[in-house]
Structure 1
Amino acid sequence: MEESPAQRLILVVEDSPDHTRLIKDALNEKSGQYQIVALADGVKVMDFLHRRGHYADAIRPDLILLDLNLSGKDGRELLAEIKADPKLRRIPIVVLTISDHEEDIFTSYALQGNCYVVKSSDLEQLFQIVKRIEEFWLGIVTLPIE
């Protein structure tokens, strides 16, 4: 049975407060129909996904939007760690990053990222990109239910 949008949890892994706010605004444009958790620290992301410490009651995200350029544990390391874990690897990961470098694109797909989207530096264009991600991943695609 398909979950309603209100039950969908999106984990936004982004260290730019401006981008995080914009992503949340784009996803919640239709009156907050998704539950969104935003984290900027790779260690906290893994604690959340493994339900450790402060995140013991966390629920499994339906979708992860992952920036590659994070301080500390970067997005590449997180992608590799998540996709190597049998309990987490089914979570779709959209790499949403400013980098358009071929090496980053190749590496993200090699690490089993589900898609690679280059962020626009123009905030209105970025808003529209997030709306398209929402339309595809939360409207068209059938996501696995834990």
Structure 2
Amino acid sequence: MSTGIVPGMAHILLVEDSPADMRLTLEALKECQVHCNLHWVKDGVEALDYLHRRNEHANSERPDLILLDLNLPRLDGREVLAGIKAHPKLRRIPTVILSTSNEEEDILRCYELHANCYITKDPLNFDGFLEAIRSIDRLWLSLVSLPPRADEP
């Protein structure tokens, strides 16, 4: 699923297996007035296909930011993160972990794999989730200078 691509807007790849959490994220982005092109993939294999422009994602646009869940079907989010950070052109895309897990082991492992930040989400606390999305917008889409998009995978 993709929102309409608007030139000049940040492009966000959301890797999330739960349609309910995807809708929650989309609603939070709208509520926080985050103007972006959002593309949603449902599992780890599809995420890497998208990033490497394989199969139905052959013409995908390189994201400026990746929002990555950990507990994904087919290929776990940690494996996706490792694949992203092992690739010379993909590793520079900021990757934000959005997970319901607050386990120290998960957090440590993600930082060892070079996640750019780790945010624990609570789908039952929409106000807290809104604040997390606002923080992502302020930091990653407003304050920092993002690297130029890599044209080839």
Q: What TM-score do the two structures reach when normalised by structure 1?
A: 0.90
Number of aligned residue pairs: 143
Residue type matched to 1:70 in 2? L
Q: Distance in 2 between matches of 1:6 and 1:104?
A: 34
Residue type matched to 2:66 in 1? I
Structure 1 partner of 2:83: 81
Unaligned runs of 5+ in 2: 1-5
Instruction: Find the residue that maps to 2:12 and give its secondary structure.
Output: strand
Is 2:65 the counterpart of 1:45? no
Structure 2 partner of 1:111: 113
Q: Map of 1:1-146 to 2, 5 A cutoff?
A: 6-29=8-31, 33-121=35-123, 122-146=125-149
Q: Distance in 2 between matches of 1:14 and 1:6?
A: 24
Shift of 1:145: 1.1
Instruction: Find the residue that maps to 1:28 and give its secondary structure.
Output: helix
Q: Distance in 2 between matches of 1:107 and 1:37?
A: 26
Shift of 1:126: 1.3
Instruction: Quickly say closer, same or farther: Cα 1:141–1:123, change in 2 above 3 A.
Output: same
Shift of 1:127: 2.2
Instruction: Quickly say closer, same or farther: Cα 1:66–1:140, change in 2 above 3 A.
Output: same
Cα RMSD (Å) of the superposition? 1.8
Unaligned runs of 5+ in 1: none
CA displacement 1:100-131 (0-9 Å, x = unmatched): 11100110000000011110231232122112
Q: What TM-score do the two structures reach when normalised by structure 2?
A: 0.86
The alignment-based identity, stated in percent, is: 48
Q: Distance in 2 between matches of 1:17 and 1:49?
A: 20
Instruction: Quickly say closer, same or farther: Cα 1:73–1:126, change in 2 above 3 A.
Output: same
